[in-house]
Structure 1
Amino acid sequence: MEGTPDQGAGAAVTAEGLGVKGSRGWAFREVALTAEPGALIAVEGPSGSGRTCLLLTLTGRMRPAAGQGSVGGFRVPQQMARIRRISALAHVPGVSELDPVLTVAEHLRERALLQRRFGDAARGLLRPRRERAAASRAAIDAAVQAAGLDLETLPKGPRTAVRDLERLEALRLSVALALISRPRLLAVDDTDLKLSDTERDEAWALLRGLAASGTTVLAVCSQAPEDAVVVSTRPVEADAEERAETHGPDNKDEPENEPESEDEDKNKDEEGAADALAETGRA
């Protein structure tokens, strides 16, 4: 059926003339993109060029001011809540962050519980508790393996606190948490931030492998790999000059408007609330 998400397939992503505008002008504008299911999409640009805003827009969490697009057959901006339900965020500062005092195991258990409570189909809640717990453990194991996170090599194993993780390990944990919901579109912010050349290669190898397995991957970066579908958010020169003259330099890559929070489908209010809770809770 057209417009119905296919759980086992990545999401095709398109955009035409897409733009987000806030109180200080355009965060980005005139973005065009065409990517097949299972593509590795790199959002390339300098800090402050609206990269995170584009990531949030294409995952249904920020409404654009101009243009249109589609994710997995769902329309932007008309079906943003449905796009939220087929996408997941990994490491998006201010939106989906790791709690430094929680352990790796605690993060994984909490995300699995959120998925059981808010993400699984209603019929899944009717299964016996033991069966649901086994399914959660299996989902965690699969996600951890797909993210390449070796729990036994961590300083204290699964009981290692996030604050004691290396940057690449934290990135892998964020990806694992996002994969628990088996998204069709996985979005990762600041992919190459504070990584050495070797670590950067490992991070892209991870995302490339996820894309090869069928999940569409959308990754924000300062420099895209050659094999990625590249979309740039570099601001229009006139807009950049106007912002600089009016407000001074903008060194932050933060959303200029609030993430999408209202479900446009009136009969889906409760599901939209569940989505919001699952995504804005501790990641």
Structure 2
Amino acid sequence: MDSPHGAAVKAEGFGLKGPRGWVFQDIAIDAAPGSLLAVEGPSGSGRTCLLLALTGRMKPTAGHAEIGRHRLPKKMAAVRRIAALGPVPGVNDLDQALTVAEQLREGAMLQRRYDAPVRALLRPRGAHAPAPARVRIEQALAAVGLDPATLPKGLRTSVRDLERLEAIRLSVAIALLGGPRLLALDDLDLKLSDAERAEAWALLRSVAARGTTVLAVCSEAPADVTAVRTGPQTPPAAAAPSLTEKDADTEAADTGTSTGTGTGTDTDDEDTKGADDALAETGRA
């Protein structure tokens, strides 16, 4: 596979504020093209939202970032064109009803649909040769170390029967079909053994070594991986808020007097737009 030139990732004072306060804030990044960068933090610390914001799929509300010279939030569409999502639960999940071959074909078809020149979309059915897609799929599988011969039924293996690490490799392969300059994936170390986690990081190192900048969300990054940490910006709330506290939060949100934006409605619209952008990227919106 041709090695795309990775996109530099820079951010300064980057933040996102919602109705209940900061989702993440004051993020500073300066990663060179072809870097492997981790977004590290506990679940619920805003790390997924940061990933979506850095890939142009969620609109930030503070500071700025540059992805391959495209400045956020102004150039979100341009960033989406050069940044591909690997596995991000709830955004581009693999279809459990498909086989591996069907999932790969669907990924190649969507890539062609959204990235091909307009004239290519106007060709009559059957007028284009499928060979280039097959070659790209074979190259992507090789790049992620997913050998169909090792699967129970080869390419006819159901996606639902894949092990967690195999599913990660498949998702990354699909993301690489379009030759992105930035690859981003969520929950890398979720439900992986120590040995599998080491394999997953080795996979990402190999992708970065080929020239693609990689951004991975995790609970804890290896010592040799540059990490940006997310976390709560206010003291942790009680594990089980009282009914009075919940009612106070609800009332504050309704009146726009919470520690959020003070308007509520505008932020909700922005968050919804960001989610819609994320789903649109998968072709399932």
Identity percentage of aligned residues? 57
The question of whether the paired residues in 2 share the 8 Å contact of 1:29 and 1:235 is answered with no
Deviations 1:83-133 (A, max 9, x none): 000011111011110111111100000111111222123355578956541
Q: Which residue of 1 aligns with 2:282?
A: 279
Structure-2 residue corresponding to 1:55: 51
Aligned equivalents of 1:40 and 1:150: distance in 2?
A: 24
Contact residue 40 and residue 228 of structure 2 kept, 8 A: yes
Q: Distance in 1 between matches of 2:200 and 2:275?
A: 30
| Correspondence for 1:115 among 111, 118, 122 | 111
Q: Which stretch of structure 1 is more off in the superposition, 17-26 or 209-218?
A: 17-26
| Letter of the 2:151 counterpart | L
The alpha carbon displacement at 1:227 in A equals 2.0
- Residue matched to 2:257: none
Mapping 1:48-127, distance limit 5 Å: 48-122=44-118, 124-125=120-121
Q: Are the aligned partners of 1:18 and 1:32 in contact in 2 as well (CA < 8 Å)? A: yes
Secondary structure in 1 matching 2:89 = coil
**Inter-partner Cα distance in structure 2 for 1:111 and 1:149:** 16
- Change in CA separation of 1:202 and 1:180 when aligned onto 2, cut-off 3 Å: same
Distance in 1 of aligned mates of 2:123 and 2:97: 33
The 1:15–1:103 alpha-carbon spacing in structure 2 relative to 1, beyond 3 Å, is same
Contact 2:91 2:279 in 1 (8 A): no
Output one character per residue of 1:1-52: Cα deviation in whole Å (capped at 9) or x when no partner: xxxxxx8310000011111122222111111111000000100000000010
Q: Count the aligned residue pairs.
A: 258
Residue 258 of structure 1 is matched in structure 2 by 272
Partner of 2:131: 134
Q: What secondary structure, in the 3-state scheme, does the structure 1 residue paired with 2:7 have?
A: coil
Give the aligned partner of residue 250 of structure 2: none
| 8 Å CA contact retained: 2:110, 2:283 | no
Match of 2:200 in 1: 203
Alpha-carbon distance in 1 for matches of 2:229, 2:240 = 20
Check whether the contact 2:22–2:233 (CA below 8 A) recurs between aligned residues. Answer: no
Taking the TM superposition and a 5 Å limit, the aligned residue runs for 1:141-160 are: 141-160=138-157
What does residue 12 of structure 2 align with? 16
SS at the partner of 1:32? Answer: strand
Q: Normalising by structure 1, report the TM-score.
A: 0.84
Instruction: Name the SS for the 2:29 alignment partner.
Output: strand
Q: By how many angstroms is 1:183 displaced?
A: 0.5
Structure 2 Cα separation of the partners of residues 19 and 214 of structure 1: 28
Distance in structure 2 (CA, Å) of the matches to 1:118 and 1:143: 18
Contact 1:90–1:177 (Cα < 8 Å) also in 2: yes
- Counterpart residue number, 1:4: none
> Which amino acid in 1 is paired with 2:76?
M
Paired position in structure 2 for 1:235: 232
Contact 1:42 1:224 in 2 (8 A): yes
The runs of 5 or more residues in structure 1 that have no matched partner are 1-6, 249-255, 263-271
CA distance in 2, matches of 1:72, 1:38: 11
Q: Supply the distance in 2 between the matched residues of 1:78 and 1:108 (Cα, whole angstroms).
A: 32
Kindly indicate whether the alpha-carbon contact (under 8 Å) linking 1:25 and 1:243 is maintained by their aligned counterparts in 2: no
Task: Determine if the alignment matches structure 1 residue 34 to structure 2 residue 30.
Answer: yes
- The one-character-per-residue Cα deviations of 1:125-182 (angstroms, maximum 9, x if unpaired) are 5789565411111111111111111111111110111110101000101101111111
RMSD across aligned positions (CA): 2.6
- Contact kept, 8 Å, 1:114 with 1:278, in 2: the verdict is no
Larger Rg: 2
Instruction: State the one-letter code of the partner of 1:183.
Output: P
Q: Following TM superposition, by how much is the alpha carbon of 1:279 offset from its aligned partner in structure 2, in angstroms? A: 2.0
1:97/1:181 CA distance change after superposition, 3 Å? same
Q: 2:212 aligns with which of 204, 215, 224?
A: 215
